[in-house]
């Protein structure tokens, strides 16, 4: 069965350095209500719900089951969860809609990193035998990738700084972003990466609604049709990979149909400046493509939500008529280990 499936609504929280006064469900609920309000749907109207989060971030066991309170999950709803960025929850929801089991899906994700030390928390996702016992933090691994790119002549520290500067400058137009405007490039965090090359650590949540066929047209005046979506992963050992390239991104993009026709807009999930260099190369994006008008992950990078936000931002531009064909990318793991690429299109105006 082939069905056209679209993103019909998107909402996100402000991304903040701390949200002590809010539990995860308290942080999430306004976003769920906001995204439902945009379509006029109620919780009970939703055919399938899928979420993405990680208990390690806030150190709160089974937080995703508590977060379900915000959805109104009783009596029991059709629901699933991924311990991944919400972009992968969206992928699962998309497949669910493809089967015809549901016509609408609510996808949400959230990350509350402020209670812990994110750089250390992320070491726990690494190979537990050879790598995790060394506690190489997330900035250190990204710095190894950045140095490899400098050595290969793909970039230099000045160009990396310019990527961060541009991201935060365009983020002045995004009221949800955490870092907006001129931020000093700062000292080395782990050389060659400086503060300005690294994403801010912040708490936030996002949600989108997917709908199939005519249902999408009922719910949205200009649905963002998912023309293709695919995700690929690379070997987990960093020493096996060529860190200056992203074959998984390129393959996902091919499978999603990115290269069939030019896109006018791209939302890339590049938490570190050097990763934007890798992604632009893998996705063959030239200056004709508007990249990360939201400011991207260098302006706001709520864990588990930042990838879903890329899809949501790309879709919202189509909803508003600012884009006709947009690419959305999400990443997960160290040094762009796993990548998801989607192509969204609006119908001719």
- Give the interface with another protein as residue ranges (CB under 8 A): 20-26, 29, 32-33, 43, 56, 58-60, 66, 68-75, 115-117, 119-121, 123-124, 128-137, 140-141, 143-148, 151, 188, 190-193, 235-240, 243
Q: At what angle do helices 273-283 and 157-170 cross, to 10 degrees?
A: 90
Q: How far is CA 256 from the centre of its chain?
A: 17
Question: What are the phi and psi torsion angles at 215 (to 5°)?
Answer: -60, -40
Q: Judged by CB, which is closer to another protein: 139, or 279?
A: 139
- The DSSP 8-state label assigned to residue 201 in this structure reads P
Q: Judged by CB, which is closer to another protein: 190, or 314?
A: 190
Q: Judged by CB, which is closer to another protein: 180, or 250?
A: 250
Closest among 91, 6, 65, 1 to 339, alpha carbons compared: 91
Smallest distance, Å, CB 117 to another protein? 7
Q: Judged by CB, which is closer to another protein: 116, or 213?
A: 116
Q: Judged by CB, which is closer to another protein: 143, or 299?
A: 143
Judge if the upstream peptide bond of residue 133 is cis by omega within 30 degrees of 0.
no
d(C-alpha 21, C-alpha 17), whole Å: 12
Smallest distance, Å, CB 72 to another protein? 3
Smallest distance, Å, CB 342 to another protein? 26
| 4-37 burial: b if 16+ Cβ within 10 Å, else e | ebbbbbbbbbbbbeebeebbbbebbbbbbeebbe
Query: Which strands form 325-332's sheet, in the order they lie side by side?
Result: 79-82, 48-52, 104-111, 204-212, 5-12, 224-233, 338-345, 325-332, 265-267, 290-291
- The DSSP 8-state label assigned to residue 104 in this structure reads E
Smallest distance, Å, CB 262 to another protein? 32
Smallest distance, Å, CB 152 to another protein? 9
Smallest distance, Å, CB 177 to another protein? 24
Q: Judged by CB, which is closer to another protein: 182, or 235?
A: 235
């Amino acid at each position: 069965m082939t069905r056209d499936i679209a993103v019909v609504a998107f909402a996100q929280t402000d991304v903040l350095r701390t949200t002590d006064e809010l539990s995860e469900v308290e942080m999430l609920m306004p976003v769920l209500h906001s995204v439902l309000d945009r379509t006029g749907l109620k919780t009970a109207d939703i055919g399938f719900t899928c979420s993405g989060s990680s208990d390690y971030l806030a150190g709160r066991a089974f937080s995703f089951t508590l977060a379900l309170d915000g959805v109104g999950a009783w009596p029991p709803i059709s629901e699933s969860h991924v311990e991944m960025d919400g972009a992968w929850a969206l992928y699962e929801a998309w497949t669910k809609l493809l089967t015809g089991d549901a016509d609408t899906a609510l996808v949400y994700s959230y990350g509350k990193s402020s209670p812990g030390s994110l750089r250390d928390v992320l070491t726990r996702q690494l190979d537990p035998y050879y790598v995790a016992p060394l506690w190489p933090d997330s900035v250190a691994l990204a710095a190894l990738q950045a140095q490899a790119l400098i050595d290969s002549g793909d970039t230099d520290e000045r160009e990396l700084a310019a990527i961060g500067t541009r991201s935060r400058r365009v983020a002045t137009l995004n009221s949800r972003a955490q870092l907006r405007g001129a931020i000093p490039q700062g000292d080395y965090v782990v050389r060659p990466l400086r503060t300005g090359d690294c994403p801010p650590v912040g708490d936030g949540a996002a949600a989108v609604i997917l709908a199939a066929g005519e249902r999408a047209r009922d719910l949205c005046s200009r649905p963002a049709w998912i023309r293709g979506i695919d995700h690929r992963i690379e070997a987990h050992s960093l020493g096996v990979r060529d860190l200056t390239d992203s074959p998984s991104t390129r393959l996902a993009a091919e499978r999603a149909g990115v290269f069939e026709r030019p896109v006018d807009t791209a939302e890339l999930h590049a938490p570190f400046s050097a990763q934007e260099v890798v992604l632009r190369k893998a996705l063959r994006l030239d200056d004709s493509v508007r990249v990360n008008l939201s400011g991207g992950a260098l302006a706001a990078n709520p864990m588990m939500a930042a990838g879903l936000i890329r899809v949501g931002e790309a879709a919202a531009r189509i909803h508003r008529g600012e884009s006709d064909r947009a690419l959305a990318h999400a990443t997960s793991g160290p040094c762009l280990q796993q990548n998801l690429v989607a192509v969204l299109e609006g119908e001719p105006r």
